[in-house]
Structure 1
Amino acid sequence: MLSVSGLTTSFLRERQWIPVVCDVSFDIASRETVAIVGESGSGKSVTALSIMRLIPKENGRVEGSVRLAGRDLLTLPEASMKDVRGNEIAMIFQEPMTSLNPVLTIGFQIAEALIQHRGLSRAAAEVETICLLDRVRIPAAKSRFHEHPHRFSGGMRQRVMIAMALACKPRLLIADEPTTALDVTIQAQILELLKELQQEEEMSILFITHDMGVVAEIADRTVVMYGGQAVETDATARIFASPSHPYTRSLLAAVPRLGSMDGRTRPMRFPTVDKVTGTSDEPAETPDTVSIAERPLLEVSNLTTRFPIRSGLFGKVSGRVHAVENISFTLRAGETLALVGESGCGKSTTGRSILKLTEPDSGTVLVDGQDVLAMNARTLRDFRKQMQIVFQDPFASLNPRMSVGTAIAAPLLANGLVTASQAREKVADLLVRVGLTADMAARFPHEFSGGQRQRICIARALALGPKLIVADEAVSALDVSVKAQVVNLMLDLQASMGLAYLFISHDIAVVERMSHRVAVMYLGEIVETGPRAALFGNPQHPYTKKLMGAVPVPDPARRGTRREATNDEIRSPVRAPDYQPPVRQFREVSPGHVVQLWGEEWSN
């Protein structure tokens, strides 16, 4: 149905054509799903944009042939290509909010495609749009037709993009990382939806991703890209069973597999595989260099954080977001406590409340026996040397106009701990410690990859010698191989320095790999907590089971197994101003493994 042959895409830089996709060839049959997999920068997205002829002509050049049902798209006039886009080939991008116009309703934007390509009247297009929203399982589609994109969750916005892509019944759907930024439960819903729609519409799918678990679940055949080249192409089952290229073996080795920690007592590093030779090490459990302290370093008791919602002329409080609701836990030096749950459950607000970056409503936070919430601004500023945070997006965390050496030295100089010459020595030492080189201090953030930028943020967090690090989705946005490298780095630093991590994540498989204990959050409350082995080996709460059941399994043999993926969104944490939360009851399943007793909402 689609035949790509000798595709080469180059960009003009300093008067030279630099190829970023080199001689890539593959075919997609009717009703077939082909996955293109690889790290960021491997050429996956550029390949898709080249197929769609979306590479700017001013500084881009596409060579080779792209035949759709026998027609070479690269030789078509632009007017003919406009008819192909949307009608015969549709594309879904990674971030739906950059693809949707925030000032137009979602119904108007989908109807626009129907009017443009299918010549429907505005009224007929509205009826067809509501049918499309129903097909992609958006609840109350008719009433949500006139809503704007910001009123939808990330998963629902991606459903809107799928509805828009399917509006003209395309023969080929290109999905460019459509689930990367989504929670594991929402990802499961989107994957199930795509499989169902593919069967109904009899269309082909080109699925671009770096997640090998998703590849195993959705792809018939797989193209592995590295450095702009297709280094391996084969049936997905064969690639997983016996990968021939060293890079493919390194990708598969870095995939976190749920259940791989059975029988292990301590966290375990990911295996490292040489991308050139394919040789790998055999990782052992993290060394017990620094033993976990008996006395808690962090003690959180009855922490509550709510955000008022104001409306009306005088800003009267009309409701409150119950972001964190009466939670308690402890964390010891040398230990990792993972806080897991979907977006909106209160994980990040918990981390920010502990550091007093967000002001809690009530509760106590003791760090090394001292009450953080009772400190004044000056005392807190000095005390923050002991507790640092690493954010999800390293590029947003670094000043683009500041060299990384200056960024790492800033907290040292601001606190008057070193002179300028001592700061340079300290920066060099920190860069080496996180796996970079001292000469990189002069570079700027844009000159580094995503994984390297996250290492720089970790180096900056380590500069003041903290005892506690809050890692807020610190590896969620990274490619699978880079994610493995950063997790290994964090485990090594913990073993050598006795760091305590509050590891906030929605990636269950990574959490299983690196945590000592786990706390599961839902709607601002901790519904289950316990030692990692106990909680993963015997999950009790329905929400914990739902999270674990949604994790994609990197095994193509299980592709035909249908998972139970509901279309439910996480319930809203907004409550009336006078709302009083119920008193929760808990029971201890095994030593340290505690679960909240659940009510009618989980009975089904």
Structure 2
Amino acid sequence: MTSPILSVQNLHTSFRTDDGWTEVLRDISFDISARETLAVVGESGSGKSVTALSVMGLHPRQSVRHSGRIEFLGRNLLELPEDRMRAIRGNEIAMIFQEPMTSLNPVLPIGAQLVEAIRLHRDISRDDARREAVQLLEKVRIPAAASRLSDYPHNYSGGMRQRVMIAMALACQPRLLIADEPTTALDVTIQAQIIDLIKTLQDEEGMGVMFITHDMGVVAEVADRTLVMLRGDVVECDRTTRVFRQPGSNYTRSLLAAVPRLGSMAGRPRPAYFPTIDPETGQAGPDAQTAPPPAAPRPVLEVQNLSTRFDVRKGMLGRLVGRVHAVENVSFSLNAGETLSIVGESGCGKSTTGRSILGLAAPTRGRILLDGAELTGTSRAEMKRQRQNLQMIFQDPFASLNPRIRIGESIAEPMIVNGIAGRAEARDRVAALLAEVGLSPDMMNRFPHEFSGGQRQRICIARALSVQPKVIVADEAVSALDVSVKAQVVNLMLRLQERLGLAYLFISHDMAVVERVSHRVAVMFLGEIVEIGPRAAIFANPQHPYTRRLLAAVPIPDPERRGSKRRLPELEIRSPLRPPGHIPPPRSYRECAPGHLVMEPSEDWALLGAA
């Protein structure tokens, strides 16, 4: 039996605080062999990333201390001086971080950053390093690699930036790759491509991989063994198939119960709460039920032929050189008490559609009606008044809250500004809203940094509810949350919809979550709705090739079905930038079932492999 590449034995990690040393990792042990993938899973705060940073030696030595052993190819990394660790880090052990935009230097071209990483560890010329950088970009499937070396990080999409990070990590052919949530914020099709890419390169290079994630569907796709962590402890560590088939702890069972599974809603006509399991007792909670039907259909929001375009200007005189057709001729209606989900990849126009409805982006043409009142072309004062009925929940709750303002003030401010309540009454309403979203009223005096991600998202929901809206636009509101927290927030939104009759425009790329929460689904591609209809019809009988592609890319949370998925072909969707005088071709739709419309074949279908 071959020796493992990495062997972590009885690792303890402590952080220095004002009260002394606080232990955050306790007795962590695991091995990783060549060509083996170990998934480290758990919720935020479980110690996954602290474990990875301990292996990499990236903790500041004056404020963090370790005990135990971290053996890499027979060397105890905890005993090596910093200069020896620097030679290993990025060379023999490489790491891919969760957010590539914060890991890449925004003022340096991609090529310069790759060349720097190569020359830092290898004695080769700049020209040779540049040639190798091109080969690395080609290896991670970036088209026209040589011509893209001079591009800056902002010129790449999120998926492409993550590929650049993988290329940089592979620059010195490491023996161990640590991937810290590398696919969490990516679209489902890009996520599938990144997973396939890491697996292919692992086979080619013979690497061991430590894959950190909270997505159990991704774990089922990539991991040979799985280590489950909770609050700094190892809950269990076993073969991935066994962890999924016979979880050894209540906590693991609770994680698996919260995993959204595509197809779990077959035969259920309405949205359903996520089943929840108490991680301490293993008992199922009360939420595994179907939401009641909405009231009699009554359109509360109508969007008619909406188009939003952005001018692109160049030169000293700001000459118009083109327009980005972000949203093109989009129409739909949303009933009271209904959830309409808009799905698609980054750049398809779904977020711009939501922002256009709220007046955060100026529509080029079209009509938006809220309870029959025209929103397009209205005065600022009228739009401010109407916005009471139309609220938005953003993806990143921390960026949505002012870090210097206590959360009670953040929730009360919309009520005071809109004249709904005075300061004294607003405080009482804030307490009631916090209780409504499952938080304690005495938390209103805390600042945003004192809450977890899921709690901050609940605060944002409370703030949106403070003005008693009729429609809430939820823009990727649960995409970055841990799996169990995601289930809790979705269940909260369904309960509020049931009690208050709220209408949700649910913008997401997570098809499994969309299947559970939606009444109807609209699929966007290149700024247009290519398919729209009842949720059951879209998922059971997808007609457009892009819809089928999205569904095919969803990870299957079952390791025994790992080889059953069809590998997605590479797809480079063309840019939405058009010449200034471009006139979009007319589109027509056919109704393949009651309320189920699909765009008739067009030139764009060829991009998706349509016949």
Structure 1 position 571, deviation (Å): 2.3
Task: Note if 1:165 corresponds to 2:169.
Answer: yes
SS of aligned partner of 1:560? helix
Task: Note if 1:311 corresponds to 2:314.
Answer: yes
CA–CA separation in structure 1 for the residues paired with 2:329 and 2:283: 49
Match of 1:514 among 490, 513, 517: 517
SS of aligned partner of 1:496? helix
Q: Structure 1: which amino acid aligns with 2:62?
A: E
**TM-score scaled by length of structure 2:** 0.97
- Does the aligned pair in 1 maintain the 2:271–2:291 contact within 8 Å? no
CA–CA separation in structure 2 for the residues paired with 1:307 and 1:184: 26
**TM-score scaled by length of structure 1:** 0.98
CA–CA separation in structure 2 for the residues paired with 1:570 and 1:461: 35
RMSD over aligned CA atoms reads: 1.2
- Does the aligned pair in 2 maintain the 1:271–1:283 contact within 8 Å? yes
CA–CA separation in structure 1 for the residues paired with 2:280 and 2:289: 26
Structure 1 position 317, deviation (Å): 1.1
Which residue is equivalent to 2:376?
373
Task: Note if 1:74 corresponds to 2:84.
Answer: no
Match of 2:278 among 257, 263, 274: 274
- Does the aligned pair in 2 maintain the 1:2–1:29 contact within 8 Å? yes
Aligned pairs for 1:429-508 within 5 A: 429-508=432-511
Structure 1 position 391, deviation (Å): 0.7
CA–CA separation in structure 1 for the residues paired with 2:294 and 2:567: 41
Structure 1 position 129, deviation (Å): 1.3
Match of 1:201 among 202, 205, 216: 205
Which residue is equivalent to 2:185?
181
- Deviation sequence 1:22-71 (CA, Å, 0-9, x none): 11111111211000001111110010000011101121112210001211
SS of aligned partner of 1:545? helix
- Does the aligned pair in 2 maintain the 1:390–1:457 contact within 8 Å? yes
- Does the aligned pair in 2 maintain the 1:430–1:459 contact within 8 Å? yes
Structure 1 position 357, deviation (Å): 1.7
CA–CA separation in structure 2 for the residues paired with 1:7 and 1:599: 58
Which residue is equivalent to 2:158?
154
Q: Structure 1: which amino acid aligns with 2:546?
A: Y
CA–CA separation in structure 1 for the residues paired with 2:605 and 2:304: 26
- Deviation sequence 1:562-597 (CA, Å, 0-9, x none): 532233233211110000000001100100000001
- Does the aligned pair in 1 maintain the 2:7–2:70 contact within 8 Å? yes
Which residue is equivalent to 1:324?
327
- Does the aligned pair in 2 maintain the 1:286–1:495 contact within 8 Å? no
CA–CA separation in structure 1 for the residues paired with 2:68 and 2:563: 36
Aligned pairs for 1:410-425 within 5 A: 410-425=413-428
Q: Structure 1: which amino acid aligns with 2:42?
A: G
Task: Note if 1:598 corresponds to 2:581.
Answer: no
Q: Percent identity?
A: 64
SS of aligned partner of 2:564? coil
**478-487 vs 368-377, which deviates more?**
368-377
Number of aligned residue pairs: 603
Which residue is equivalent to 1:257?
261
CA–CA separation in structure 1 for the residues paired with 2:169 and 2:565: 24
CA–CA separation in structure 2 for the residues paired with 1:30 and 1:334: 53
CA–CA separation in structure 1 for the residues paired with 2:295 and 2:529: 23
Task: Note if 1:225 corresponds to 2:264.
Answer: no
Task: Note if 1:64 corresponds to 2:56.
Answer: no
SS of aligned partner of 2:443? helix
CA separation of 1:286 and 1:374: change in aligned 2, threshold 3 A? farther
Which residue is equivalent to 1:32?
36
Which residue is equivalent to 1:383?
386
SS of aligned partner of 1:400? coil
Aligned pairs for 1:516-531 within 5 A: 516-531=519-534
CA–CA separation in structure 1 for the residues paired with 2:549 and 2:576: 19
CA–CA separation in structure 1 for the residues paired with 2:120 and 2:426: 60
SS of aligned partner of 1:67? strand
Task: Note if 1:210 corresponds to 2:241.
Answer: no
CA–CA separation in structure 2 for the residues paired with 1:263 and 1:424: 45
Q: Gapped runs of 5+ residues in structure 1?
A: none
CA–CA separation in structure 2 for the residues paired with 1:493 and 1:601: 39
- Deviation sequence 1:326-367 (CA, Å, 0-9, x none): 110000000000000001111111111111121111111111
CA–CA separation in structure 2 for the residues paired with 1:355 and 1:59: 46
